[in-house]
Amino acid sequence: MTNSTILVTKKSKDYELIDSGEGEKLERFGKIVVARPDPQALWRKLKPDLWKKADAIFLREGRDGGWSTNGKVPDNWFIELGGLKFKIHLSAFKHVGLFPEQVENWGWMMKCLTTSPLTPLLGKERGKSQVLNLFGYTGGASLACAKAGAEVCHVDGSKVAINWAKDNVEASGLSDKPIRWILDDAVKFVTREIKRGRKYDGIIMDPPAFGHGPGGEMWKIEKDFLILMDLCFQVLSDKPLSFLINGYASGYSALAYENNLLELKKKFGGEIESGELTIEESGGARILPCGIFARWSS
């Protein structure tokens, strides 16, 4: 087993974790300061006065909730993070369309696509490296891979998320990059790709604990995850570059995901990392845990 790795997203020009605690986090996206729930913040706030200056607050009442703003928050605005641009929108369920803790993973994926000794070989054989991004959401990973020169297949069960990802592609100046947009259930899509004989050099997945496909297909991670992993192994090329699994709110350890990647290391060599995704508060006193990951590279 590998030693646990902590990936840390730090303050940048357009993003900052100002403070956290008591089940909430206070963030800055561009010039807009947002306060929203985060159950991982099981400690006291350090800067209580700054919370009073939030432009938008997500208020939860029982199982329901919604945003309260000061009237200065636009419907949409754009920020830059990790060399990419993203549309921010205060959507339902406290989300804003971006997971800043993924910045380190974006950099890792770009490195896999540009510095692996296999990359020139793949280019000669098939042209661009092929990357499959499952549960692609608003496209952070897809943008990073496209920017690194890959041909990307972005799959998500939400038309809203896919359109949002397209806005991010345009804002990032990547509209000319080869990205296929697929509105589909992940398991059904990969099953069809196997039948078509399609192969991918890199696979990214961010499976939720529970969800629905565009046709009402139900996803439960405890039932469907291993099925999807088996299918993904079948669409990996014979000279793969990378495989990344992210996890949010599923209750699993990063080691559970790492164990699924041991087969790749046994077959192809390479390295495995696993651990936590985090964001550093301003000042560096604390880091906020945001999820888990496991990743293999050739």
> In 10 A of CB 89, how many CB atoms?
17
Taking alpha carbons only, the member of 182, 78, 89 closest to residue 131 is: 182
Assigned token pair, 221: 């991670």
Q: What's the pLDDT score for residue 123?
A: 52
Residues 155, 271 within the same domain: yes
Residues 129, 231 within the same domain: yes
Q: What's the pLDDT score for residue 124?
A: 47
CATH number at residue 159: 3.40.50.150
Q: What's the pLDDT score for residue 118?
A: 62
| Structure confidence by residue, pLDDT tens digits, 117-174 | 666 555 545 568 999 999 999 999 999 999 999 999 999 999 999 999 999 999 999 9
Ranges of the chain whose pLDDT falls below 50: 124
Q: Rounded to whole angstroms, what are the CA distances from 259 to 4, 107, 226, 295?
A: 13, 23, 11, 11
Instruction: List, in sequence order, every residue forming a beta bridge with 7; answer none if it has no partner.
Output: 277
Q: What's the pLDDT score for residue 115?
A: 85
- Provide the whole-model pTM: 0.94
Q: What's the pLDDT score for residue 212?
A: 87
CATH number at residue 63: 2.60.40.1180
Assigned token pair, 216: 């009402």
Residue 218 belongs to what domain range?
Answer: 100-297
